[in-house]
Structure 1
């Protein structure tokens, strides 16, 4: 077998390739088949992560404003409700370089309110609503940052929306949400990104619609939500799935009752679940945030109807510093995750 880099032992060649910046990896993957196989392998990601060469970036599912239509333009595409079809895009933000980019579109239209998660350098998009019919979908798409290509994943076992999601060690965990008839769910599944297979987990103790998911250590937390017969009555309880044992544990008084946890739930340095909105009055409305290694990206507005603003903070509880964002990347954030590549 040829050496990774001619004239160098493979262990030295691997060390060199592990230092590649993520922006150089797509070009490197086209050099030869062996480099492509290496860069797409779990071992390559593990080595980069262990040596501290990975980069933490924010991946945001954002709403686009409706296009302006002039009399000479074609008629806009209408939904079943008679309104123009809304659209979403996936935005990528590198907090080190402060560069904003858009991922190539996954299809003609991203599902509305789909959920995104990432593990081992892969981005997964699943569920949500068809933007034209508003019907729930079960589609799954996986983006590879090495090849910069999307692939169609195996569909979710059932259609669901507004579910909890989290990802770790090459697996995506989902729980709760509601089905096509707006019935809250207590079922849970895990998706193996590399094998493209779904496995059913044991069920939660109750159904939870519009719950929020967090991966905390070796646990998948499903926070709050409400039952079918109590629409919008967000509960204070949470359920924790132990990844090692496959068992659920219920926790009472884990969340503020009546408060939606969607995109705003976080674990503070004191070990208490709280909302990103509590960090600063500038994000007291529509707050959402995510941890990017040693930093956090927090988004929100001072009050309902105000412009969305973006902030960077040190750690989870550090002071927020506002950052300038180009207008085309300032849309409302429906879902977000940290991508480590």
Structure 2
């Protein structure tokens, strides 16, 4: 690498470049080869941590367009489009998505493209494929596949490793198998099976440092302990769930609740979302983001409206308030995946 900035040691120059916002990195790359090499180096991202300039971005994928992901920069209220996920599966859906080790991981899932004659999901209901997006070089790469193909499963990060559990291998076969992935070694290993499977999709939440697996429609929750999975009965309301600063929030019947183990507190009305389906609700930094979705036909109007809207519930105020963020510039409609990425 040649001198980055004249009259400055490269170690100092790297720390200067580390303060540049991520969305400007493509412009830095065209200045000269040494700057391009610096922007695509791990040293720059280590320096971003050291000078406290790392950014938290929101990653979103929707039904339309196919296999496209976008990043949201909350500091500048802008969207960045990533290269197309190079999966051979059309309209990849029902996958797991998390971020760890500075990368975005998309795991498993199958096709959401239905054959109009047979009703089959393009012959690929569940896969074991794993893709990692590296923001340093801005490319997707294939990683070692999961031991068991699965879709509609629980997925989360525990101590830097990716845990997956449950889900379906076909549209009729649910599983209780669980496994864990080490992104540094690119290796999967089995862990104890869930206590039980269920004929519905499941999701994972980290509450109090513990993995909670929740099946849609069930009131019991499976929690991972050092002795395996334990089942707890909770009186949680049903609906989209997310965790913000260790607290669980649930949207149910047009209201958002803060849910404790055996009680709940009304936070704010969310009546405008009662007509919207297929949206994502995710805790991002200190707020709750409600993203995308569709509004179905009403009366004689058979048009389905695919939405790019982003609504933000600011929880830090004494009275939480709704605000609008910038519309997604590419993605719209049913949200297939959502995660937070630290760069």
Whether TM exceeds 0.5 here: the answer is yes
Change (3 A) 1:51 1:189: farther
CA distance in 1, matches of 2:329, 2:21: 27
Alpha carbon RMSD of aligned pairs, Å? Answer: 3.5
Q: Measure how far apart 1:217 and its partner are.
A: 5.2
Q: How far did residue 236 of structure 1 move? A: 0.6
- State the shift of 1:299 in Å: 2.7
Q: Which structure 2 residue ranges, 5 or more long, are not aligned? A: 114-121, 257-269, 298-303
State which drifts further: 8-17 or 123-132.
Answer: 8-17
- Structure 1: stretches of 5+ with no match in the other structure: 66-86, 226-233
Query: Which of 141, 162, 167 is the matching residue for 2:131?
Result: 141
- Which position in structure 2 is the counterpart of 1:253? 234
1:170-181 equivalences in 2 (<5 Å): 170-180=160-170
* Counterparts of 1:142 and 1:295, CA distance in 2: 26
Give 3-state SS (helix, strand or coil) of 1:179's partner. strand
User: C-alpha displacement at 1:147, in angstroms?
Assistant: 0.3
Match of 1:56?
56
Superposed, which structure 2 residues align to 1:264-303 within 5 Å? 264-267=240-243, 271-272=247-248, 274-275=250-251, 278-279=255-256, 280-284=270-274, 285-286=276-277, 287-299=279-291
- Please point out which of 209, 212, 215 is paired with 1:224: 215
1:101 counterpart = 2:80: yes
Aligned partner of 2:219 in structure 1 is 236
CA 1:54–1:215: 2 relative to 1, 3 Å: farther
Question: How far is 1:110 from its partner?
Answer: 4.7
| Corresponding position of 2:333 | 331
Distance of aligned partners of 1:94 and 1:170 in 2 relative to their CA distance in 1, 3 Å threshold: same
1:212 equivalent in structure 2 = 203
Alpha-carbon distance in 1 for matches of 2:50, 2:235: 33
For 1:30 and 1:171, the matched residues in 2 are separated by: 35
Deviations 1:73-101 (A, max 9, x none): xxxxxxxxxxxxxx342222222212123
Residue pair 1:100, 1:329 contacting (<8 A) in 2 also: no
Residues 42 and 136, structure 2, Cα contact 8 Å, conserved in 1: no
Task: State the partner residue of 1:160.
Answer: 150
Tell me, yes or no, if the aligned pair for 1:224 and 1:235 is still in contact at 8 Å.
yes
CA contact under 8 A between 1:119 and 1:169: conserved in structure 2? no
Q: Distance in 1 between matches of 2:326 and 2:7?
A: 47
Q: Take 1:23 and 1:270, find their aligned partners in 2: how far apart are those partners? A: 29
Alignment correspondent of 2:174? 184
In structure 2, the CA distance between the partners of 1:92 and 1:327, relative to structure 1 (3 Å rule), is closer
What is the CA distance between 1:121 and its match in structure 2? 2.0
Q: How many angstroms does 1:160 deviate by? A: 0.7
